[in-house]
Amino acid sequence: MYVDAVTLGTWSFHGDQTTIDLIAASTNALNGAILARRPDHYRSFTFIGILLMAIIGGIGGGVTRDVILGEPPAAFMNPAYLTLCVGFGVLGYTLAYTPAQLFREGLFQFLTSMSLPWYAIVGAQKGLEHGYPVLGALALAVIGATAGRFMIDVISGVPPKQFVRGEWFVATALLAAVLWIVGDAIGLHTAVAAAIAFAGSFAFRVAALYLGWEEPLASVPKGVRLHDDKRPLLGRKLHHKSAEELRVLGLAVDEPDDV
């Protein structure tokens, strides 16, 4: 009996945020498999590679969150996590393309909108349970919700979604965490607070996608300023450099053409 418990683990689908955590892992695994098949991410991955991407997308955020909290990662203790991630990874592999071999972008964006809030809600819950202050719980919620996507982007060789312009990716996770914390603070039942947090952040993300709301870009860098000899920048290596040489060094920026 002891050997069976060690080799098979203890299956659990409810209790201690397990249900919400499993929903988050499943939707993120489905989304991860679809993302790995997206033309801008696909790098001649094998079928096993796609499933590994699904697992990374499904449990990456939760494992990162649990490690920060100093807990054994729930995804490695409960076989339901990996089993569901593999199952939803297979489903994502089959759903990524239409019969005409066009990527299902609408489905992918819809699933992203669904997957972000769940991990954020669990991250906020666990952060407060471990005595984190509100800002710490919010940070944990964002990390848990977006770390899986970060890993997939890095593996695929594209800029991580958190750092490039889009329809309020990080803000959606942050909003879900804020709504849950407020609901919990005013005494709402956990399930009710989670439902409100999910509905509010999901609606925000879908509206941002539909209406084209995007984060503002940072100002465009203008290149280096060459000071006189009394105040050289980066030593004398830049002295007498031409504009083309600075551009090759990555220290000058081409001005955009006027439209």
- Whole-structure pTM value: 0.80
Specify the higher pLDDT residue, 32 or 242.
Answer: 32
Secondary structure letter of residue 237 according to DSSP: G
User: Based on the number of CB atoms within 10 Å of its own CB, is 153 exposed (0-12), middle (13-18) or buried (19 or more)?
Assistant: buried
Q: Grade residue 3 by pLDDT with cuts at 50, 70 and 90.
A: very low
* Among 56, 123, 118, residue whose Cα is nearest residue 88: 56
| Statement: residue 236 has pLDDT above 80 | no
Rounded to whole angstroms, the Cα distance separating 258 from 208 reads 29
- The CA-to-CA distance between both ends of the chain, in Å, stands at 74
Q: Tell which residue, 181, 183, 187, 63, has the closest CA to residue 124.
A: 181
Q: Could you report the per-residue pLDDT of 109-153, keeping only the tens digit for each?
A: 888 888 899 889 999 999 999 999 999 999 999 999 999 999 999
Helix axes 47-69, 105-129, angle to 10 degrees: 20
- How large is the average pLDDT for residues 198-205? 95
> What integer pLDDT is reported at residue 183 of this predicted model?
95
Burial class (CB in 10 A: 0-12, 13-18, 19+), 112: buried
Tokens of 52: 């590994």
Distance CA 60, CA 115 (A): 13
Is the model's pLDDT at 59 over the cut of 80? yes
Other CB atoms within a 10 A radius of the CB of residue 37 amount to 21
pLDDT above 70 for 9 = no
Residue 233, pLDDT > 80, answer no
pLDDT for 170: 94
Mean pLDDT of the chain: 86
**Does the structure show a pLDDT above 50 at 259?**
no
The pLDDT value given to residue 115: 85
The answer to whether residue 50 scores a pLDDT higher than 80 is yes
pLDDT of residue 45: 93
Task: Say what the pLDDT of residue 99 is.
Answer: 78
- Give me the percent of the chain exceeding a pLDDT of 90: 56
Q: Are 120 and 173 a contacting pair, CB within 8 Å? A: yes
Q: Supply the pLDDT for residue 49.
A: 95
- On whether the CB atoms of residues 59 and 23 are closer than 8 A, the answer is no
Domain spans, the chain: 2-211, 219-259
CA 14 to chain centre: 24
Distance in angstroms (rounded) separating the CA atoms of residues 186 and 178: 12
Q: Report which of residues 197 and 15 the model is more confident about.
A: 197
In the predicted model, is pLDDT for residue 70 greater than 50?
yes
Question: Residue with structure tokens 């972000």?
Answer: 116
**Cα separation of 75 and 72, whole Å?**
9
In total, the chain counts a number of residues equal to 259
Decide if 75 contacts 63 (C-beta within 8 A): yes
Rounded to whole angstroms, the Cα distance separating 66 from 79 reads 16
- Mean pLDDT lowest for which of 48-52, 67-71, 89-93, 220-224? 220-224
Return the structure tokens found at 132.
């984190």
Distance between CA atoms of residues 21 and 34, nearest Å:
20
Q: pLDDT, tens digit, for every residue of 97-120?
A: 887 778 888 888 888 888 899 889
